[in-house]
Amino acid sequence: MKLSNPFNAELKQRLDNAIDESKRILLCTDFDGTLVTFTGLPSETQLPIEMRELLTRLAGLEALHLAIISGRRFQELSELVPVEGVTLAGNHGLKIQFKDGTAYEPEIGEDLKKTIALFNKDIQERFGDKEGIIIENKNFGLALHYRRYDGDEGKIEDEFHEIWKDHNFSALEVIEGAKLLEVRPANWNKGDAIKLLQEKWGGRPTIYLGDDTTDEDAFRVLQGQNLGFPILVSRDENKDTNAQYRLKDPAAVGDFLDDLYRYLTN
Ligand SMILES: [Mg+2]
C-alpha cells in the first residue's frame, strides 16, 4: 500500500474536520528512528537542538498534549528529552510520567523480574564479548542490538531464540525490531499506552508517529478511529503497516511537526 505524505490536502481536510475551535489535539510520537536517526548504539543518540526547540514550541501550546512513547528505559528517555510540559512514556509505556505530574506504573511481578535476570545472565554469557553486539538491560526486559555486528545475523537470531526457549515465560514475549531482538512484558504495548492517554484526555484527534514493529500496536489502535492519524516513518513505500500516512525520515518528521505547529497557531 502506498502511503501519502501526511500534510497533503486530504489530511489537512481531515484535521480541519476533526479539530474544533479549541484546537485540542493529542500528538504522540516514538523517539528513536522517528524524532532522531537511530545509529544502532543507544548510548550515542542525542536530540538535535532544532528538534528540541520544535518540541518545546509544540509543548507550549495550551490545547496540545505532546507525549513521547519509547522502548527505552524511562530514566534514559527523560535525560534525552529535556523539554518542559511533555508526557514521557518509557519501556513501551510501562512507566508514564504525565505532564500534569501524575504517573502510571503497573506492578511488575517478582517471577517476571527473576526470569529476566536469569535470561540476562545467559545472554551476557553467550553474547557479552561479541564485538558489535549491545545488550541493553531494560528493568522489565532485555534488548539485543546487532546493527553493528559484522558476522552472521541469522545465527545471532537463532541463538537468541534458543536461549529464550530455556526461560520461556508466558507473561513475557519476544519482539523483533530493526536489527533488534527484545523480550518484554506481553500484556502491555504502545497501543495500550495510546488508549490510556486518550482516556485521560478525552476524544481529541490523535496523531501517532513511529518507525518500528512496536509502533504498529499504536497504529492499530488509531487505524479504526475517526479521529486517529497513524503515521509511519520509513523510506520503504511498500512496507506492510497499519499506518495511514508515511514520512520518509526524522528530517521529514521535523518538517511535518513544523507545519503542524503553524497550522495550529494560525
Ligand atoms: Mg523507533
Burial of 208 (0-12, 13-18, 19+ CB in 10 A): buried
Is the four-CA dihedral 72, 100, 191, 219 of positive or negative sign? Answer: negative
- Sequence-distant contacts of 101-106: CB under 8 A, at least 24 apart: 104/196, 106/188
Has residue 216 got a pLDDT over 60?
A: yes
One-letter amino acid of 118? L
Report how far ligand 1's centroid is from the alpha carbon of 34 (Å). Answer: 6
Burial of 231 (0-12, 13-18, 19+ CB in 10 A): buried
| Domains located in the chain, CATH noted | 9-106+189-265 (3.40.50.1000), 110-185 (3.30.70.1020)
- How far apart CA 205 and CA 202 sit, in angstroms, is 9
For 24, phi then psi, to 5°, come to -70, 135
Report how far ligand 1's centroid is from the alpha carbon of 212 (Å). Answer: 5
Report how far ligand 1's centroid is from the alpha carbon of 85 (Å). Answer: 22
Higher per-residue confidence, 208 vs 38: 208
Bridge partners for 238 per DSSP: none
Question: Which pLDDT tens digit goes with each residue over 26-51?
Answer: 999 999 999 999 876 778 889 999 99
Report how far ligand 1's centroid is from the alpha carbon of 117 (Å). Answer: 25
**Band of pLDDT at residue 1, cut at 50, 70 and 90:** very low
Has residue 163 got a pLDDT over 80?
A: yes
Question: Which pLDDT tens digit goes with each residue over 87-143?
Answer: 999 999 989 999 889 999 888 888 888 999 999 999 999 999 999 999 998 878 899
Report how far ligand 1's centroid is from the alpha carbon of 233 (Å). Answer: 9
- How far apart CA 183 and CA 135 sit, in angstroms, is 12
Report how far ligand 1's centroid is from the alpha carbon of 209 (Å). Answer: 9
Has residue 5 got a pLDDT over 90?
A: no
CA distances from residue 16 to 7, 13, 227, 255, 259 in whole angstroms, order as listed:
12, 5, 11, 19, 14
Q: What is the mean pLDDT of residues 148-157?
A: 94
What pTM does this model have? 0.87
